[in-house]
Structure 1
Amino acid sequence: MFVKSTMIKKENCYSVKMNDPVQVGFDLLEKHSVDALPVVDGNQYKGIFTWYYAYQAFFRSGKSKEEFLNSTLVSDVVVNQDVYLNINDVYEKALIELNDFPIIAVVEGTEFLGIVTRFDVVNQLQSAFGMHQPGFRITFTSVETQGRIGRLGEIIEKYKEAVISLVTFDETDKLVRRIVLKIQKKDNIERFVKELEKSGFRVLDVSED
């Protein structure tokens, strides 16, 4: 999956300019109930404006609230000028970059294209785990040997299961890999699980949601 599949396009983004007073940024953040805004001049990406760094600048300034609001521009508190994603970056990079910020800009060259939000990332993870669809979630482990995923596919085909999601973990473990498989609800779940165990998969948990 690529960043462009989850990006909010610039036409749908709220933004501020470098020469805007910080009050403009505060008003937009409060009005739209968001934690951060991209800073854009024309089509050029300039950074991110956030509650946190604006308030940090205020407390460090030694100014009164009125003085700070009257004398401070967005350009004085902008951050993440050099932190952004490219349109063709893979989705996993967004997970890393959004660890400390609620949004990250998507840029091509210096042109601002849009943003990816932490909220959208969480939604995509929920989708990857099939959390929006009812079914049986089976957690099991497999010895890390060639052909194990292929064998799993054969069992799925044998029982005509409809797969909602399939996620593997422990890519650094050379011996055992955890697998979470979610399938649509059918009345053959016990037979399917027994077939997994018979084929050498160790079933840890079966839950229905």
Structure 2
Amino acid sequence: MLVKNIMIPVEKLTVVDLHTSIKDTIALIDMNHLLSLPVVAGDKFIGVISKKYIFEEYFNDVEEKEIFLKRSIEEMMKTKITAVKERDLVEVPGQVLAEHNLQFVPVENEKDQFVGIVTHKAIFKTFNKILGVGHTRIEVTTRDVKGRLATLTEIITKQGVNIISIAEIDIEVMNLREIILRVDTKNVKALIQALNEGGFTVRRIDESQI
């Protein structure tokens, strides 16, 4: 899945420019129940402003409130923000959000024009879909042996079960791998029995599916 499929397009965003006053910026943030706003110059993303940044500036450089509120946000916005491209895979903004303390990741097109943002919520919803959340969840452990995944899927297929997703994790213990399955099945017990008989260890399943 590409970034452009999960981003909020710029047309639906509330944005500010360099010369927007602090007072107007706070009003926009509060009115739209947001944490931060993109700062733009024409079709370019140049930074982000939030109430947190504004308050930090105010308490670090105390001055009369009314004078402070008339200042522009240019002096206190954050500009070193990593942008991603709209044709990047969704894993790219996910990694950026994981590594940096950001409310969103700006998205640019091939011409470096600002076209939208990716939020934490969009990433979580996307990975929930990828992981098949809502379907029967089964955790299986097995030795890290060539061909084991093929054997696993063959067993599941023979049970007439539809595989929604598979995630494999190296648990770094005794050469073991943990495989997390999401499947569609009406007979979980039969599937578990088949997996155990096939040499796999079922460690945990979604209890609501038993």
Q: TM-score, normalised to structure 1's length?
A: 0.89
Q: Are 2:108 and 1:125 equivalent residues in the alignment?
A: no
- Runs of 4+ displaced beyond 3 Å: 171-174
How large is the Cα RMSD of the aligned pairs? 2.0
Per-residue CA shift, 1:54-108, capped at 9, x if unaligned?
21111111123322112x2121121144421122222222122223111110013
Q: Give distance in 1, aligned partners of 2:121 and 2:47.
A: 19
Q: 1:173 to 1:48 in 2, by over 3 A?
A: farther
Instruction: Specify the alignment match of 2:40 in structure 1.
Output: 40
Q: Give distance in 2, aligned partners of 1:204 and 1:145.
A: 18
Q: How does 1:1-209 map to 2 (within 5 A)?
A: 1-70=1-70, 72-99=71-98, 100-108=101-109, 109-131=111-133, 133=134, 135-170=135-170, 175-186=175-186, 188-207=187-206, 208=208
Per-residue CA shift, 1:25-46, capped at 9, x if unaligned?
2112111111111111111111
Q: 1:171 to 1:92 in 2, by over 3 A?
A: farther
Q: Give distance in 1, aligned partners of 2:171 and 2:202.
A: 19
For 1:54, the aligned partner's letter is: I
Structure 1 residue 10 displacement after superposition: 1.0
Q: How many residues align?
A: 205
Structure 1 residue 161 displacement after superposition: 0.9
Aligned residues with identical type, % of pairs: 25
Equivalent residues of 1:3, 1:90 under 8 A apart:
yes
Structure 1 stretch displaced more, 164-173 or 1-10:
164-173
Unaligned regions of 5+ residues in structure 1, if any? none
Q: TM-score, normalised to structure 2's length?
A: 0.88
Q: Give distance in 2, aligned partners of 1:173 and 1:5.
A: 38
